[in-house]
Amino acid sequence: MVMSSSSDDIISSSSTSSKEIKDRRMFVGIVWNCAAELKLVLTALLFLCSFATVLQFLPSRSFFLSPSDLRHCLSTSTSTSLSNNTLSTPNYSSSSPLTTTQLLLHTDQNQTLLNSNGVLKRAFNPYGSAAYNFVFMSAYRGGPDTFAVVGLSSKPLHLYGNPTYQCLWLPHDHDPIGVTAGLKILPDWGYGRVYTVVVVNCTFPTSAGADGKGGQLLIHATTNGGGDRNINTTDTILALDETPEDFARFKEQFTSQPKYDYLYCGSSLYGNLSPQRVREWLAYHVRLFGGRSHFVIHDAGGVHDGLMNVLRPWMEKGFVTVQDIRDQERFDGYYHNQFLIVNDCLHRYRFAAKWLFFFDVDEFIFVPKKSNINSILDSLSSFTQFTFEQMPMSNKLCLSQDAPTAFRKWGFEKLVYKDVKRGIRKDRKYAVQPRSVFATGVHMSQNIVGKTTHNTDGRIKYFHYHGTIAERREPCRQFINSTEITVDTIPYVMDTTMRDIAGAVKRFELKMIGSALQRTRQ
Ligand SMILES: *[C@@H]1O[C@H](CO)[C@@H](O)[C@H](O)[C@H]1NC(C)=O
Ligand SMILES: *[C@@H]1O[C@H](CO)[C@@H](O)[C@H](O)[C@H]1NC(C)=O
Ligand SMILES: *[C@@H]1O[C@H](CO)[C@@H](O)[C@H](O)[C@H]1NC(C)=O
Ligand SMILES: *[C@@H]1O[C@H](CO)[C@@H](O)[C@H](O)[C@H]1NC(C)=O
Ligand SMILES: *[C@@H]1O[C@H](CO)[C@@H](O)[C@H](O)[C@H]1NC(C)=O
Ligand SMILES: *[C@@H]1O[C@H](CO)[C@@H](O)[C@H](O)[C@H]1NC(C)=O
């Protein structure tokens, strides 16, 4: 995952170029439209005129229409189409300039006013609205009196204004309405683009719907003059409409042990991903995390048919859930709105799993042989959150001895060169006990109760095969016959930790889902 810091530059440059493109398109569009209509009109004219000419020589009695009728018809039809044309495009050749009254007709507002001391007063007339006050994604109950509402909101509104949220609980029976100020959490602060992610934490002073009779959660989203100081807009969103059955289901989860030990919240999958790499990743992690694990895959356009084929056997076994989040693409947030997606996942599965993991499909979690994932996580159970270190791996260096058979080997089996360049800050990934977390990021959660530890070296880490997942070709590009090498000033050493597990992972996949995926392509 690349964390770009120059998002502001990106915004301005992309908006300029897209505007230029739009202008150009509009111009071409006008010319084309006119050309098409003109052609149509001319052709029709030619045809009708010759028809009319021929008609004059025919006996008029045998026709319902006389030639003069037809001429009349012809002239009205052409004039209508011409007048429609001129209506839709302004007449720039007009000798009389556009007058103030004409502009006022357009804007319906004062352009300039001479005030009493002779100063021109200028007006500013707003049109439209560039980014939504709130784009609602989901709302989840988090307890007898608390809810989380997950969505997007205009980033400048939050950066320069002070929008506020108010939460209302409307019980289905006649109990009093609960009202509380929503606490806004901005988990992707600094990374958003047109939109930033907002998690609204609604915690009522007394229970809200804990009688299980059902009710509605409403959110009032107020701009407080951000965007237009004269206008204080409040949008009301029906966030949750809870039935007694919904509440019963929640209570069941809330009061019992989590169904899963480990749940993977994947970030937005996008692009032309390699089915073979994802196949390897899934088999590896199902084996690592075991029978009480689950994987939530978010399809932002990356789950094409080939990828679906490698997910399906695991979906049928109950290990994988795929969510179609392609519609988020309408709203320009950071990297296919991954911060939005992980926060939805956190609250959706908050009571379903003991631990939630957040990492990518080109990353492989590893725990040393003498331990296993359960013993490691038991040793970390007093922490709400822990982070673990990255082992960056080359995405193109392979062993000479593999050259003849590389195409048959798995990615983490043949990519055995570890980047050992020092002094470079490497991303860490993390896992949390979600019941103590209120919002989450991509590299870490900052809204938690309880402790965080980074002291996990030697217990758990991840191998990162950057750039292998979005590539549909053989990764090995350079075959090497030594345990150490420097390529492009980056020193590498051979590390066969992952290679040594490949055989066991392949046997595990075969045992679990049979040979269905044996012929998967890169
Ligand atoms: C053209 O204008 C006439 C009225 O001037 C209107 O009835 C007709 O629908 C218009 N046609 C189109 C294609 O806009
Ligand atoms: C455009 O304006 C000029 C000058 O007023 C006028 O002569 C001409 O007829 C107009 N053209 C159309 C298509 O309305
Ligand atoms: C336009 O100006 C008049 C006279 O000053 C004022 O009464 C009116 O409210 C103004 N209209 C708008 C839309 O600003
Ligand atoms: C909202 O925040 C409070 C602490 O401020 C926390 O106890 C509660 O669990 C949170 N609710 C949700 C749904 O995250
Ligand atoms: C906007 O409206 C809300 C709700 O009516 C109110 O609480 C808030 O004070 C108003 N803000 C401003 C800046 O007027
Ligand atoms: C690898 O190295 C050994 C000894 O250094 C050498 O004999 C062998 O030919 C090399 N193989 C390749 C494929 O370069």
Name the closest ligand to CA 439: 4
**Given CA atoms 365, 478, 481, 490 in this order, what sign does their dihedral have?**
negative
**Coil, strand, or helix at residue 480?**
strand
| Residue to mutate (ligand 3; options 101, 104, 110; most atoms within 8 A of CB) | 110
User: Which residue, 109, 149, 316, is CA-closest to 235?
Assistant: 149
pLDDT at 119: 83
**Given CA atoms 507, 513, 518, 522 in this order, what sign does their dihedral have?**
negative
pLDDT at 176: 83
**Cα 81 to averaged position of ligand 1 atoms, centre (Å):** 7
In this prediction, residues 168-189 reach a mean pLDDT of 91
Give the chain's domains with CATH numbers.
1-90 (no CATH), 135-252 (2.60.40.10), 257-513 (3.90.550)
pLDDT digits (tens, 9 = 90+) for 187-200: 987 899 999 999 99
pLDDT at 56: 52
pLDDT at 213: 93
**Coil, strand, or helix at residue 269?**
strand
Angle between helices 502-513 and 275-289 (to 10 degrees): 90
pLDDT at 117: 81
Least confident segment among 75-84, 211-220, 349-358: 75-84
pLDDT digits (tens, 9 = 90+) for 118-133: 788 888 889 988 999 9
Contact 484, 492 (CB under 8 A): yes
What are the structure tokens assigned to 22, written together? 């739009």
353 has pLDDT over 90: yes
**Given CA atoms 377, 288, 284, 463 in this order, what sign does their dihedral have?**
positive
Q: What are the Cα distances from residue 360, in Å, to 5, 216, 365?
A: 20, 36, 10
Output the residue whose Cα is nearest ligand 5's atom 8.
Answer: 224
pLDDT digits (tens, 9 = 90+) for 448-484: 999 999 999 999 999 999 999 998 999 999 999 999 9
Which helix or strand (DSSP H or E) is residue 137 part of?
strand 135-141
**Coil, strand, or helix at residue 342?**
helix
76 has pLDDT over 90: no
User: Which residue, 388, 350, 384, 390, is CA-closest to 452?
Assistant: 384
Contact 460, 356 (CB under 8 A): no
Q: How far is CA 174 from the centre of its chain?
A: 40
pLDDT at 397: 97
| % the chain with pLDDT above 70 | 78
Contact 512, 286 (CB under 8 A): yes
Contact 236, 218 (CB under 8 A): yes
**Residues in contact with ligand 1 (CB, 6 Å cut-off):** 80, 83-84
In this prediction, residues 98-114 reach a mean pLDDT of 50
User: Which residue, 183, 146, 147, 148, is CA-closest to 166?
Assistant: 183
pLDDT digits (tens, 9 = 90+) for 216-268: 999 999 999 999 999 999 999 999 999 999 999 999 999 999 999 999 999 99
pLDDT digits (tens, 9 = 90+) for 332-346: 999 999 999 999 999
Q: How far is CA 428 from the centre of its chain?
A: 22
Q: How many residues does the chain have?
A: 522
**Cα 171 to averaged position of ligand 2 atoms, centre (Å):** 65
Contact 386, 292 (CB under 8 A): no
Contact 247, 209 (CB under 8 A): yes
Name which residue leads in pLDDT, 503 or 81. 503
Output the residue whose Cα is nearest ligand 3's atom 10.
Answer: 110
pLDDT digits (tens, 9 = 90+) for 124-158: 889 988 999 999 999 999 999 999 999 999 999 99
168 φ, ψ to 5°? -125, 135
94 lines ligand 2 (CB under 6 A): yes
pLDDT at 12: 35
pLDDT band at 100 (very low <50, low <70, confident <90, very high): very low
Residues 6+ apart with CB under 8 A from 122: 111, 112
User: Which residue, 229, 232, 213, 141, is CA-closest to 171?
Assistant: 213
Helices (H), 257-319: 275-289, 305-316
| % the chain with pLDDT above 90 | 69
pLDDT digits (tens, 9 = 90+) for 20-58: 444 444 444 444 444 555 555 556 666 665 555 544 554
Output the residue whose Cα is nearest ligand 6's atom 2.
Answer: 481
3-state secondary structure 200-239: EEEECCCCCCCCCCCEEEEEEEECCCCCCCCCCCEEEEEE
Q: Whole-prediction pTM value? A: 0.75
**Cα 437 to averaged position of ligand 4 atoms, centre (Å):** 8
Output the residue whose Cα is nearest ligand 5's atom 6.
Answer: 224
pLDDT band at 373 (very low <50, low <70, confident <90, very high): very high
pLDDT at 486: 96
Output the residue whose Cα is nearest ligand 1's atom 7.
Answer: 80
**Cα 28 to averaged position of ligand 2 atoms, centre (Å):** 23
| Mean of the per-residue pLDDT values of the chain | 84
